[in-house]
Structure 1
Amino acid sequence: MTASLVPARPAILTVDDDPSVSRAVARDLRRRYGEQHRIVRAESGESALEALREMALRGDDVAVLLADFRMPGMDGLQFLEAAMDLYPAARRVLLTAYADTDAAITAINVVDLDHYLLKPWDPPEEKLYPVVDALLEAWRASDRRPVCETRVVGHRWSARSNEVRDFLARNQVPYRWYPCDDPEAARLLAAAGLDDQTLPVVVTPAGETLVAPDDAQLAERVGLSTTPASEFYDLVVIGGGPAGLGAAVYGASEGLRTVLVERTATGGQAGQSSRIENYLGFPDGVSGAQLTDRARRQAVRMGAEVLTARDVVALDVSGSGRTVRFSDGSSITAHAVVLATGVSYRELAAPGLADLAGRGVYYGSALSQASSCTGDDVYIVGGANSAGQAAVYFARHAKSVTLLVRGPSLEASMSHYLIEQIAGIPEITVRTCTEVVRAEGDGHLERLRLRDRNTGAEEVVDAPWLFVFIGAAPRTEWLDGLVARDPAGFVLAGPDLMTGGARPPGWPLDRDPYLLETSQPGVFVAGDARAESVKRVASAVGDGAMAVSLVHRYLERS
């Protein structure tokens, strides 16, 4: 392994178990980048990881990691996954042979890979340098300041402890989790003069101790924006999923004073997806968290304001103003509103589940729990894409994943690519025509009673983890009496409001409602909350963009 006594230059590290290939890669990199960067090479994942640990202790920067896919002991994928803990901002490249292309694409699900390169890449001027140039540019533009972590002390089976972890993870707030039986947890509690009866306890980077904080307190103390900068806006977007983020990006970029209000975390259900593989422009897939974090940063860069942990409870219409009221009694007003409130997962009604929610039973993916599932048996209820994506993700950690599907097959509700992917993962078992009829456990989930819907036969299985994805209900109950909704609660808009060609009752304008306009002029709906919408990320983003163009039309005629 090469070394340098000049720590000021950021490193490019390459690891390949074939000495001739390792030397060739280092030679090509040194020829182009040697003046501004240290070129560090290793011939095993273990030695490369040790080199990274030494550089981290010295405070050296690492810009790019290039790892061969096939290596004995620790392969390239395992190395990159471990390296993420030491240098999360470093750009990651997997080196593959032509025969490994399919495996490399599948492996992209495991690490947030920036690129993969086919060997050999002669000439490097065409096939290697343009890739590394782009990665170095992205690295230089990234925020590489030391991460100040929030620390969370809680109980493994505490519902609120797990909600705190999920809130921080979904809002991209770095944190470290300490179970209450960890020695460091005891030290933190003792330093704060607390005991394990006060959990969860959150210690902020500034050293402030929060005892069982609610989401609003937590958001404020960890640096999330919760207070509006103004009392009046051109556009208020309610909901921070793909539709809301799309509306915020296009609204702000087109000159509207825009604020997006989200009650938990931007991203919505899409943000909780472990992998989205059918979104246009991402042929290798992208995690929901990564996609929605990029969208949030894009909206902010365009000038949109993003408020987190603000629960909207009412919307009032008075003249040309639309007033959005929050649960704490405060409010903001705007010319126009886009409802992008999305949907929430429906809950299973089987006995025992409600008591164990957050204690082994989770609605949605709860990706923050994945590491805790290592070596355990995980059960997932649902037959659509969300359930399938979660099964693929948890299969990397759990001993086994069982997908429980009420219907006779997955074909009716799951994308074909995902069905094929599941079929190729031996840790996943699909049980069709099966339902959960009871959950049992002392303080946390321990067992499930399952029923075969064809035969009626029941069995009890040991199950410490259950994740539920059984369809969705719109978050629109607070709009009752203000805008027209269908019997399921989805918001009606545009042509769906017209009955026999007649405008909706009470419609005050001499024109028909615009395509995404609700029964209240100037109030639009986008994404999954809209009746008859297509429940896909791309269509939600399109709804958000279209809603902004209709807002402009509305404002021009008001």
Structure 2
Amino acid sequence: MAIYDTFKSRAAQALPQLTSAEIKRMQRFGAMACFRDGERLFEAGRTSFGLYVVIKGVIRISRYDGLGNTSVITEHVAGEFAGEISQFSGAPSLVNGHAVGEVEVLALTTEALRSLLMAEAELGERIVRAFILRRLELIESKACGLVLVATPGHPRMHALQGWLTSNGHPHKVLDPRADEQARALCAHYQPTAEDWTLVVCPDGCVKKNPSVVEIGRCLGTLPEMEDDKLWDVIVVGAGPAGLATAVYAASEGLSVLALETRAYGGQAAASARIENYLGFPTGISGGALAGRAYVQSQKFGVKMAIPAPAGRLLCDQNPLQVEMCGSLTRLRARAVVLSCGARYRRPSLANLKQFEGKGVYYWASPLEAGLCASEEVILVGGGNSAGQAAVYLASHAAKVHLLIRKDSLASTMSSYLIERIAATPNIELHTQSEIVALEGCDEEGLQQVRVRDNRAGTERDYDTCRVFLFIGADPNTGWLGDCGVEVDGKGFILTGLDAAGGAPTTRSGLETTVPGVFAIGDVRANSTKRVAAAVGEGAAVVAQIHAYLARRPVV
């Protein structure tokens, strides 16, 4: 059996061996199936399945991309099982599986797999852990999933890589100037300037400059959603608060649909390290925390749709309806939870949009950090997110210039981060300072930044091509204008006593002015802007949803 690097140190967890007693317990969840030598059990980009437990024979698992490249990952023998995270959601497989010799398997559907995980906790834990490690292997190998073709530095390439990385999807990048297959693809499709980036889906379909919606359809992250289905709960936004609601609601038997515009985890997923989250004394990255919560949601049967921006909330309908952005599709729910967070705040710079993705960034993930090696960068912001990003980038960049408008960080940042910034030699704090101009061109991107020192009244030009903006966010509530959900003067959603003007009310603490519509997390007025607080509200709202549904007639 060939085991690749990712599996070497944790082979027993990534490729666990089931006992005969465990397989016997699993039999009530599946059905036996047989395959001939060389027959394909599942195909990358085309086949959806739950779990195959090998009873007899061998299943050969191979990486495969849409260009036809293939390589063996491993071979599952009797007592092992085939599958990874895609199998939780019913998305198409990312790998090929072929029978070696006569093969007999115990086949479980996606629904049966979830039932197994609930009924067999210890066995379920081993399966989930194996699925996570296998997805990590696929990501690190960069030999399956999507193929992105464009020259390095293309802004569209960075945007697509960021979306795929944030959603934990394996992909690889080919430069047509250096790769023969990429050159052949370009020669065949003759892309114009507007056609970049070329994207090859796992099933071989080639798309020119596709939207993330098209890629979501290709990968199965954006499933077809039936407008005639009635959900118990629709969660709008899959940040920490929304993920918590989805997990707790689904684990308690409610049908849950989660709609997310960009990537699960929201802004918290971009945090390099969260050090004050209970239970993680050495800290945890926002991406790791979000990834675990996402897998949990899939385990409990949450239907996740990404990218799926909500366009309107129709509160005068019974049941409530969420109309999708750019579509006439209306999704129905008995209750709606608004955890739609906030939109990144942008400074008033005339040509800012020109450089977004080409030198100006609103988060600091490993993808962006990799662009900063040995460079000087500018980071704007004085909150905890800015502090975390500054410390993280300082481990990659030659120097980080941290700009704030105030005299100090004391009123906006946690003390442990202030101390860490002060102890990091390549972070320079510039107080009472702001960016006043960006210079560059479309081809090369950002090249120079002008900074004003408001205390001294002077300006200085920095030859840097990376700027990170962490200047806060505004509530994402503009799409609620057609509904009766009330907001405060800053646009944050009023709930509980705040929604009742402080008067006594039977409204639940997280319920808005519209019955059955709840708000949690950063988008809620007077909420505590912390990951732990968002998760707490996401869990607490589920009890309030149960109480609301109990007193409402079944639609």
TM-score computed with the length of structure 1 as normaliser: 0.72
The match for 1:296 is 294
The match for 2:167 is 171
The match for 2:526 is 532
Closer, same or farther in 2 for the Cα pair 1:490/1:192, shift >3 Å? Answer: farther
Deviations 1:110-129 (A, max 9, x none): xxxxxxxxxxxxxxxxxxxx
Instruction: Give the whole-Å Cα distance in 2 for the aligned partners of 1:301 and 1:191.
Output: 44
Letter paired with 1:172:
G
Closer, same or farther in 2 for the Cα pair 1:13/1:434, shift >3 Å? Answer: same
Considering only aligned residues, what root-mean-square deviation do their CA atoms show, in Å?
A: 2.7
Q: How does 1:54-453 map to 2 (within 5 A)?
A: 140=130, 142-144=132-134, 147=138, 148-179=144-175, 181-183=177-179, 186-187=182-183, 189-190=185-186, 192-195=188-191, 197=193, 198-228=195-225, 231-318=229-316, 320-327=318-325, 328-365=327-364, 367-443=366-442, 444-453=445-454
Q: How does 1:396-545 map to 2 (within 5 A)?
A: 396-443=395-442, 444-482=445-483, 483-499=485-501, 501=503, 512-545=506-539
Closer, same or farther in 2 for the Cα pair 1:396/1:513, shift >3 Å? Answer: same
Q: Secondary structure at the match of 2:254?
A: coil
Q: Secondary structure at the match of 1:460?
A: strand
User: How far is 1:493 from its partner?
Assistant: 0.6
The answer to which of 176-185 and 457-466 deviates more is 176-185
Unaligned runs of 5+ in 2: 11-16, 18-70, 76-124, 139-143
Q: Secondary structure at the match of 2:350?
A: coil
The match for 1:546 is 540
User: How far is 1:440 from its partner?
Assistant: 0.6
User: How far is 1:421 from its partner?
Assistant: 2.0
User: How far is 1:185 from its partner?
Assistant: 7.5
Instruction: Give the whole-Å Cα distance in 1 for the aligned partners of 2:379 and 2:202.
Output: 35
User: How far is 1:467 from its partner?
Assistant: 0.8
Letter paired with 1:363:
Y
Please say if residues 272 and 367 of structure 1, whose CA atoms lie closer than 8 Å, have aligned partners that are also in contact.
no
Letter paired with 1:484:
E
Instruction: Give the whole-Å Cα distance in 1 for the aligned partners of 2:430 and 2:311.
Output: 40
User: How far is 1:320 from its partner?
Assistant: 3.8
Instruction: Give the whole-Å Cα distance in 2 for the aligned partners of 1:515 and 1:319.
Output: 23
Please say if residues 178 and 184 of structure 1, whose CA atoms lie closer than 8 Å, have aligned partners that are also in contact.
no
Letter paired with 1:453:
N
Instruction: Give the whole-Å Cα distance in 1 for the aligned partners of 2:383 and 2:4.
Output: 48
Q: How does 1:7-18 map to 2 (within 5 A)?
A: none
User: How far is 1:224 from its partner?
Assistant: 1.5
Q: Secondary structure at the match of 1:297?
A: helix
User: How far is 1:283 from its partner?
Assistant: 1.0
Closer, same or farther in 2 for the Cα pair 1:59/1:542, shift >3 Å? Answer: closer
Deviations 1:460-510 (A, max 9, x none): 1111000101011011001124210011110011111223627xxxxxxxx
Letter paired with 1:164:
L
Letter paired with 1:397:
H
Closer, same or farther in 2 for the Cα pair 1:167/1:138, shift >3 Å? Answer: closer
Identity, in percent, stands at 38
The match for 2:103 is none
Closer, same or farther in 2 for the Cα pair 1:9/1:223, shift >3 Å? Answer: closer
Closer, same or farther in 2 for the Cα pair 1:296/1:141, shift >3 Å? Answer: closer
Instruction: Give the whole-Å Cα distance in 2 for the aligned partners of 1:513 and 1:203.
Output: 50
Instruction: Give the whole-Å Cα distance in 2 for the aligned partners of 1:525 and 1:250.
Output: 16
User: How far is 1:426 from its partner?
Assistant: 2.1
Closer, same or farther in 2 for the Cα pair 1:181/1:520, shift >3 Å? Answer: same
Closer, same or farther in 2 for the Cα pair 1:301/1:516, shift >3 Å? Answer: same
Deviations 1:62-91 (A, max 9, x none): xxxxxxxxxxxxxxxxxxxxxxxxxxxxxx
Instruction: Give the whole-Å Cα distance in 2 for the aligned partners of 1:417 and 1:188.
Output: 53
Please say if residues 339 and 526 of structure 1, whose CA atoms lie closer than 8 Å, have aligned partners that are also in contact.
yes
User: How far is 1:228 from its partner?
Assistant: 2.5
User: How far is 1:138 from its partner?
Assistant: 8.1
Please say if residues 226 and 310 of structure 1, whose CA atoms lie closer than 8 Å, have aligned partners that are also in contact.
no
User: How far is 1:182 from its partner?
Assistant: 3.9
Closer, same or farther in 2 for the Cα pair 1:389/1:550, shift >3 Å? Answer: same
Q: Secondary structure at the match of 1:546?
A: helix
User: How far is 1:234 from its partner?
Assistant: 0.6
How many residues are matched?
Answer: 431
User: How far is 1:222 from its partner?
Assistant: 2.1
Please say if residues 364 and 393 of structure 2, whose CA atoms lie closer than 8 Å, have aligned partners that are also in contact.
no
The match for 1:78 is none
Instruction: Give the whole-Å Cα distance in 2 for the aligned partners of 1:9 and 1:351.
Output: 50
Q: Secondary structure at the match of 2:275?
A: coil
Closer, same or farther in 2 for the Cα pair 1:231/1:185, shift >3 Å? Answer: same
Closer, same or farther in 2 for the Cα pair 1:384/1:193, shift >3 Å? Answer: same
Q: Secondary structure at the match of 1:441?
A: strand
User: How far is 1:59 from its partner?
Assistant: 6.0
Instruction: Give the whole-Å Cα distance in 2 for the aligned partners of 1:488 and 1:398.
Output: 36
Instruction: Give the whole-Å Cα distance in 2 for the aligned partners of 1:234 and 1:136.
Output: 30
Closer, same or farther in 2 for the Cα pair 1:9/1:331, shift >3 Å? Answer: closer
Deviations 1:203-256 (A, max 9, x none): 223222111111110111123133226621111100000010010011101111
The match for 2:34 is none
Please say if residues 379 and 401 of structure 1, whose CA atoms lie closer than 8 Å, have aligned partners that are also in contact.
yes
Closer, same or farther in 2 for the Cα pair 1:9/1:257, shift >3 Å? Answer: closer
